Amino acid sequence: MTLPVRRLRLGVLFTALLGGAALAADHPEAVAGRSADALAHDIFKQLIEINTTDSVGNITTAAQALAQRFLAAGFPAADVLVAGPEERKKNLVVRLHGSGGQRPVLLIGHLDVVEARSEDWSTDPFKLIEKDGYFYGRGTLDMKSGDAIMAAALLRLKQEGYRGTRDLILALTADEENGCCNGVEWLTRNHRDLIDAEFVLNHDGLVGYSITSEHGVPEEFALSATEKMYADYQLAVTNRGGHSSLPRPDNAIYQLAQGLLRISQYSFPFELNEITRAYFERMAGARSGQVAADMRAITRSPADAQAIARLALEPELNSLMRTTCVATRLDGGHANNALPQRAQAVVNCRILPGHSKEEVRKELMQVVNDPQIAVRYLTEDGALADTAPEQRSLPPSPLLPQVLGPLQNTVAALWPGLPVVPFMNAGATDGIFTRAAGLPTYGVAGIAVDRGDVRAHGRDERVRVSSFYRGNEFFYRYLKAITAP
């Protein structure tokens, strides 16, 4: 499948266009939009102020609060379900029925947030604070904004008496950030009937946003259609040690250092998939000069090696064209005056779709090229295993026209000229579970975040007020577009 290539310039010209996209203030839709904004804000505030951390939070409380809203809005009780295997971690599943002309769409978002200590923050992380044009609070980006937007969209459609061609199922879930197994994974394994769909929209596109902006000016809309797979490995060297006054040639730290240097010099093979190929083809239109030429050159067959090498100098682009592994931690020795008996490193890998963790472990062993450096798989709970799982990561979801077409139209209406680029997420989301269940999954969110201001998981997490409301309008429109007769 190919994508229509946009060749619009980004930047100044673009800012001018944005103004034209605003709705006239007295337009009936604008009035509805304002009350829709108020509704989204109310839900957003309510969610932020319910602590849903893994430690002391309660997801069930958030799920039930939203369920109450849906019931009050006239959703039949049979279509509003709060379910889960653990008392504190229940999920909400709501269905807005369509005509049934087409199969349903599943919308997913997680209700849980990562921990936040108020002493680290400038504001109370569990209060929604509006300040200087931003909403602050834990989850404002990742991803209670998205949860509120999706819930508000469904409520708005219901209120309008809208009947689309497909059922819209919304699942707001537990345990994406931390904890295990109570959220999307549990639903796909135990309640497939409740969430079965033709495809899935995950509002957790990158981390709660899809639009990258610079000083508030959107530059690209990333349609996340695939994910890299996360894996940690431990490299360890042991040695008999000894007194540091008598250094020997065999030294655990030096041996490890040499292995790490070989990893630092190694590049995993260049490889494109349907999504990243489309990404480079489209971005070639948005960039200029050598970069644009190189992007075209790497999408041809055979790919131009020099173009690959030049583009790989940009870390973001490099991460899209190959599996990456990087040393992130070191630990060695036990006393300043003793030769190290042990030196170890953590190497973090992001694996391209279609490859397995064990395949990468073996590759690392080859690169390190020293049988005395043990390369072990490090599981999520920190346990070590001699081998890694053999299972290959899932291939990208196909770029379905029924997803992409309406997306391009909706984006064009709200942000004229903004290129929609298929994207591979280097991080991991709940999309792995829906893809594993055979459901094509796409990360889509109308929220924009400035490059370099992604505060998900960090302190003073925030989202632009204007971007939240525009994202709210976007999602409502996009849902209509994919369910339009």
Partner 1 sequence: MRTSTRAGAAARLLMAACCLACAACAAAADATSTSNALARELLAQLTAINTTDSERGNVTTAAEAMAQRLRTAGFPAEDVRVLGPSERKKNLIVRLRGTGAHKPVLLIGHLDVVEARREDWSTDPFQLVEKDGELYGRGTLDMKGPDAIMLASLIRLRQEGFRPTRDIILALTADEEGGSANGVQWLVQHHRELVDAQFVLSGDDYSVLLVKGKPLYFKLVASEKVYADFQLQVTNKGGHSSVPVADNAIYTLTRGLDRLAAYQFPFELNAVTREYYRRLAQIESGQRAADMRAILSNPPDRQALERLSADPVERSITHTTCVATRLDAGHANNALPQRARAVVNCRILPGHSPEEVRQQLVQVLADPAIAVNYQASDGTLTDHAPAVRGFAPPPLLPEMLDPLDQLVAATWPGLKVIPNMSAGASDATHTSAAGLSTYTFSPLSVDPSDDREHGRDERISVASFYQANEFFYRYLRTLTAR
Q: Is 361 in the site for partner 1 (CB under 8 A)?
A: no
Using left for φ > 0, alpha for ψ between -120 and 50, and beta otherwise, residue 318 falls in alpha
Chain length of the chain: 485
3-state secondary structure of 70: helix
Please state the closest distance from residue 51 (CB atom) to partner 1, in A.
Answer: 23
What is the C-alpha end-to-end distance of the chain, expressed in Å?
23
Q: Which residues inside 371-410 make contact with partner 1, applying CB under 8 A?
A: 378
Q: Which is nearer to partner 1, 12 or 313 (CB)?
A: 313
Instruction: Report the residue number, 72 or 313, with the smaller CB distance to partner 1.
Output: 313
Nearest approach, Cβ of residue 8 and partner 1 (Å)? 26
Residue ranges of alpha helices (H) inside 389-464 are: 401-414, 431-436
Taking CB under 8 A as the rule, does residue 301 contact partner 1?
no
448-450 and 211-214 as β-strands: parallel, antiparallel, unpaired? parallel
64 backbone dihedrals φ, ψ, rounded to 5°: -70, -35
Give the residue, chosen from 179, 333, 354, 389, that forms a contact with partner 1 under the rule CB under 8 A: 333
* Residue 270 engages partner 1 in binding (rule: CB under 8 A): no
Q: Establish if 451 lies at the interface with partner 1 (CB under 8 A).
A: no
Helix (H) / strand (E) containing 56: none
Which residue of 183, 332, 422, 440 would you call a contact of partner 1, by CB under 8 A? Answer: 332
By the 8 A CB rule, do 465 and 134 touch? yes
Nearest to 421 by CA among 312, 275, 226: 275
Residue pair 404/463 in contact (Cβ under 8 Å)? The answer is: no
Secondary structure of residue 10 in the 3-state scheme: coil
Binding status of residue 131 toward partner 1 by CB under 8 A: no
- Cα separations (Å) of 230 from 11, 21, 99, 381, 421? 34, 39, 40, 13, 23
Q: Which stretch binds partner 1 (CB under 8 A): 129-137, 160-168, 246-254, 468-476?
A: 246-254
The helix (H) or strand (E) run that includes residue 174 is none
Scanning residues 175 to 234, which ones bind partner 1 (CB under 8 A)? 228, 230, 232
> Which one, 128 or 373, has the nearer CB to partner 1?
373
Residue 68 or residue 244: which is nearer to partner 1 going by CB? Answer: 244
**Stretch of 57-65, 85-93, 146-154, 319-327 lying at the interface with partner 1 (CB under 8 A):** 319-327
Shortest separation between residue 382's beta carbon and partner 1, angstroms: 9
Q: How far is the CB of 377 from partner 1 (least distance, A)?
A: 12
Q: Name which of 354 and 398 has its Cβ closer to partner 1.
A: 354
Nearest to 447, CA basis, from 476, 467, 426, 425: 467
**Which residues contribute to the site for partner 1 (CB under 8 A)?**
228, 230, 232, 243-248, 251, 253-254, 256-258, 260-261, 264, 313, 315-316, 318-319, 324-340, 343, 345-346, 348, 350, 378, 426-427
